Every structure is written in C-alpha cells, then in structure tokens.
Structure 1
Amino acid sequence: MIRAATPADVPVILALVRELAAFEREPDAVKATEPMLAAALFGERPAAEAVIAEADGAAVGFALFFHNFSTWTGRRGLYLEDLYVTPAARGRGIGKALLRHLAALAVERGCARFEWSVLDWNADAIAFYRAMGAVGMEDWTVQRIDGAALTRLAGR
C-alpha cells in the first residue's frame, strides 16, 4: 500500500533517510532533524511531499519528492529526491509501486517530466530504473555549491 505521509510519519521518514544515507556510503551526512522534516513536509509553505510504502502494517519504504519547473516545456516537473525500500522488503515490487505512484501523480498534476538522480556506482538501481523506462541524461552532470562555498558565493 502506498499512502501520503502524515506528520506522524516524520520519525519513520527520518529513520529511512538515515538507512538510505548508510546504504549510499554517507552515514554521517544526514543533518536533518524531525522538526526540520516536519516543517519541510507539513509547515506553512511545504518544500516537499512524501509517500510511505507499507506492507503488513509497517513502513517498508518511502519516496520524497517536490516540483521543479522547465522553462523549455513551460510546465512543472516532479523531482524524486529519495526513494528507499528496506532491504528485507526488496524484490516484492515496492520500488516499482512507489515509482508508478509518483508517475501517476506527475500525470495528474500535468507535469512534463519525472526526474531523479542516481549514484553512478549503484548498478542495481540503474538497471531497475532502465527497466521502468528511465533514460540516463548522459550529457548532463549535477553541479552543487554548499557549505562555505555557498556562503562565499552569496557574498557573506
């Protein structure tokens, strides 16, 4: 079952985010807290949304997403920030169900695109996404400025 996250799910979402970070070899990189996630997902101006995958009454995965915008299409898109299924629940179609749920949301909302990033070493995920019809954007690379570099660029 896939359902929209509620404020009561924030501790579960954060726990799953931490599991994902450990899987992605960045166990100490998560700086988010429950109050930060609650504000981002359910505050006055939500920055993102989340859905929870449940099996046998327990959360076994989640997807966190937000809208972006394409000037080329003149329409918004849906950007998947995180998709995670617990190891014990993998192979049961839960990841596929999460992607299908988000694709349906994108279509319902008139989005031109459904996009996400994947680590280049995660061959299993890449193969899974290709099987779902995703196409790698080989000519594009992600750029990031954060921390001290962001502060410097901001002139502060």
Structure 2
Amino acid sequence: MTAARPPGDLRIDRSTHDDVEPIVDLVVALLEEISAGLGERVFSADPDTTRTRLRRFLDLPGYASFLARLGNEPVGVLTLYESLALYAEGAFGTIAEFSVVPAWRGRGIGRTLLQAARAFGVSRGWTRLEVTTPPLPAFARTLAFYKREGFAVSGGRKLRCLLEPPR
C-alpha cells in the first residue's frame, strides 16, 4: 500500500493561544465521535471548561499541541504531554488527543501530525511516544493506523478511577 501524500497546502504549526477555538472544536468533535462509536457518553467535553483548561496547558513546558490547516481551515489536531516512568527509562510523550476531520482522513494529514509530535519528542529528549486508542472493535481502523505508523501494542487496556476531593 502506498502512503498517501498530504495535500500541498497542508501546514502543521505548534499551537498558540490564538488557536484555542479551532482546537476546542476539533477535540469536542473527537470526543463526540468516540462516544457515538461506543454508544455511550464516556467523556465530558464542555467547550467553555475545555477552553480554559487548554489555555492553561499551552503555558506548560511539557505540553504541546499541533494544528493541521489546509489554507485557513483547521483539519486536524494532536496534543501531547510529557510523562515520566521507570519502565520507559525516563521522560516520554503521551498523545492525549489526536484527530483528523473525517472528510480529510486517509490523505497523510495524521502521518504529518505524528511527524511533528516525533520531532517535538526528540527535541525534548523523550524515549518514546505512547497513545491509547478508543475501544476495539469499534475503532479497529484507528489501531491499524497507529500500527502502520510504527506503534506497537505494549500492554493492556487503559483504566480510570475518578477522584473526588475530600469533603
């Protein structure tokens, strides 16, 4: 299979505070897509809260967001942050959100966003990138994409436990 060549006017930029609105729109759409694919709401994605949180994250040195644009149209986003673990032999990157607008999938945009994430990770001295896919089989295509891009399954499922502040 030949790799799709990204459109010639594709631009990938590290996000700034000026990019908050399109990033929030893309992330909220991603979370809605995952919930629809699973048939249940698994994420809370209040746009106002997400905007506030993103503005704070963009100021953190270990956090980065990359926005893909065709002309002025936002068509993809990838966010990642620095993690630390003994098993990873130090610092590594965790991809938190990653999506390409459905109409633009399969055209090399996701691959180009991953290249930006890899370059950022190398510049930070990270040993690896990690990502959790949405549940299978509903998102088997997502897993296949990651495998084509050099990711390997390295463990079990992602689990969560919500924490409540003490009363």
Structure 1 match to 2:38: none
Secondary structure of 2:87's aligned partner? coil
Structure 1 match to 2:101: 86
Match of 2:111 among 96, 108, 112: 96
Displacement of 1:35: 2.1
Structure 2 segments unaligned to the other structure (5+ residues): 1-10, 36-40
Q: Distance in 1 between matches of 2:43 and 2:12?
A: 29
> For this pair of structures, how many residues does the alignment match?
148
Structure 2 match to 1:144: 160
Higher relative contact order (CA 8 A, sep 6+): 2
Structure 1 residue 37 corresponds to structure 2 residue 54: yes
Displacement of 1:34: 1.7
Q: 1:128 to 1:74 in 2, by over 3 A?
A: closer
Structure 1 residue 128 corresponds to structure 2 residue 132: no
Structure 2 match to 1:14: 24
Could you tell me whether the CA contact under 8 Å between 2:64 and 2:79 is conserved in 1?
yes
Q: CA RMSD in A?
A: 2.0
Structure 1 segments unaligned to the other structure (5+ residues): none
Structure 1 residue 53 corresponds to structure 2 residue 68: yes
Give percent identity, aligned residues only: 27
TM-score by length of 2: 0.80
Displacement of 1:103: 1.3
TM-score by length of 1: 0.85
Secondary structure of 2:125's aligned partner? coil
